[in-house]
Amino acid sequence: MLSRNIRFLARRYSQAVTFRTTECSPSQHNENQIGLFYSLNNDLCKQLFAHGGLPKSYMKQTKTFTETTLMVRLPALEIMNCIKATDFDKPAIRYLLYGEIGAGKSLTLAHLLHYAYEDGYLIVHVPWVSEWLRRVPRHKEMSNSQTHEGFVDLPLDAAAWLLHFKMQNQAHLKKGDLKISKEYVWSKREKTPQGAPLAELVEHGITRVKYSCDVVDALVNEIKILSNSKQCKTFVAIDGFNTFLYPLTRLRTPTKKKVAPEEVTLTTSFMELTKNDWVNGVIVLTADQLGVPPEHQESHLPKYLLYKKGFEHIDPFVPVEVGRYSEREFFSCASYYRDRLWLRGPPETEGELKLASACNPYKFMEMCAPL
């Protein structure tokens, strides 16, 4: 009886508030829901974003709010619209999300990932490229590549990513209908035979960390072949793609030589994947100022961040700007924060916050924290 009452109350509540939408499937979102929040299923959230994908500060907030919600915003809808209108026999189209720091590029990407998951894409998602190339913990695992002369491997990072890949594509990998096209010989005793399921390849990379970078390389090739033969459609999402194109990484070889991103095997694999020489796929990239050192963060526009080389690599691409909140989005977000008791105080506070944060989503979130 009590639980029924609570459920009833909950339903009444969700119908009464104006900042939520009950539509939980991204493919059904449309312009009427711009600025409204929809909540993600907890299990799904764990599956998609357990190994990164949502910004850290946002993860903290979801913990505080005891739910993961995403705002339906125009850039994501636009890309979904474009994907729906895409002819999948043509080369993969590349979209580039750009915008100021904290405008919501990563969350737009998360929204799109949810869409891709619902739509049954094979997801190739790199949560944050800087994690590989720019964040150098005390003991960064690095080794010289055995197969590529003069290249550097990041075996632990590659293995972690393979785990992420496995996690996100559980459904596809369990089915086992994705087969490998050729035999891969790793060493005298280890090899992955032709026709083995893709899951085996991934598993090999996770268990034999030494070969994880080569596995990633092989995986990328296999995914391309599988997509070309229409066995699956692939959704590639790379956050902070411009870090691949910045002239230097912060990695150093044991001989103290500075490493360029082209000399990292992971870079070559994902650069290969972002070419448009394959079909039946969607590629969404983001260009983020935070992915490069502060002295090169003068502009958030794509050509500046990607350099000419990167621009020509992904050319022709569709630039999609993730902007600041519009009036409607801002007040929807404010009322969401009020609902979560994250924001209190007189109603004039919103106006002040709007001016103080300049409608920048991240700044707004930060400013509401002590209120």
Partner 1 sequence: MSLFIRKYKPGVVYNTQILWRLNSTTAETQKQGEEEEEFRVLDILQKKTRIQKKAARRADIQPDRSEKMPTDQNWGNVWPGPRSFHPSSVPLPIRQGYVPKGQAPPGKKANAELMKIPNFLHLTPPVIKTQCEAIKPFCTEWPKLLNSEEAIEKHYPVEVITSDYCHASPTIRNPLARIVTMRVKLSDLKLDSRARDKFLRLVGDKYDEKTDLVTFTADRCPVRKQNLDYVNYLLTACYHESWTVEDWEKEKCLEDMEYYDFDMHPSKKNLVNWFFMSNNKENNLSDDEIKSFDTSSIPNGVEYKNAVSELFNEGENVTTLKNYDTAVRKLLGLPEKKVVD
Interface positions with partner 1 (CB under 8 A): 31, 34, 74, 78, 81-82, 85-87, 89-91, 93, 276-277, 299, 301-304, 308, 311-312, 315-319, 326, 328
Q: Do the Cβ atoms of 219 and 205 come closer than 8 Å?
A: yes
CB closer to partner 1 out of 62 and 360: 360
Classified as helix, coil or strand, 17 is coil
As a whole number of angstroms, the distance between CA 246 and CA 154 comes to 18
CB closer to partner 1 out of 213 and 279: 279
How far apart are CB 203 and partner 1 at their closest, in Å? 33
CB closer to partner 1 out of 46 and 328: 328
How far apart are CB 326 and partner 1 at their closest, in Å? 6
How far apart are CB 119 and partner 1 at their closest, in Å? 17
CB closer to partner 1 out of 210 and 296: 296
How far apart are CB 75 and partner 1 at their closest, in Å? 10
How far apart are CB 303 and partner 1 at their closest, in Å? 4
CB closer to partner 1 out of 182 and 309: 309
User: Do you know the residue count of the chain?
Assistant: 371
- Strands 234-238, 122-126: parallel, antiparallel or unpaired by DSSP? parallel
How far apart are CB 89 and partner 1 at their closest, in Å? 8
CB burial of residue 66 (10 Å; 0-12, 13-18, 19+): exposed
Tell me which residue of 227, 237, 224, 223 sits closest to 96, measured CA to CA: 237
* Beta strands in 99-169, from DSSP E residues, in sequence order: 122-126, 143-144, 152-153
CB closer to partner 1 out of 17 and 74: 74
Give the DSSP H/E element, type plus range, for residue 321.
strand 317-321
Classified as helix, coil or strand, 268 is helix
Structure letter (DSSP) for residue 279: B
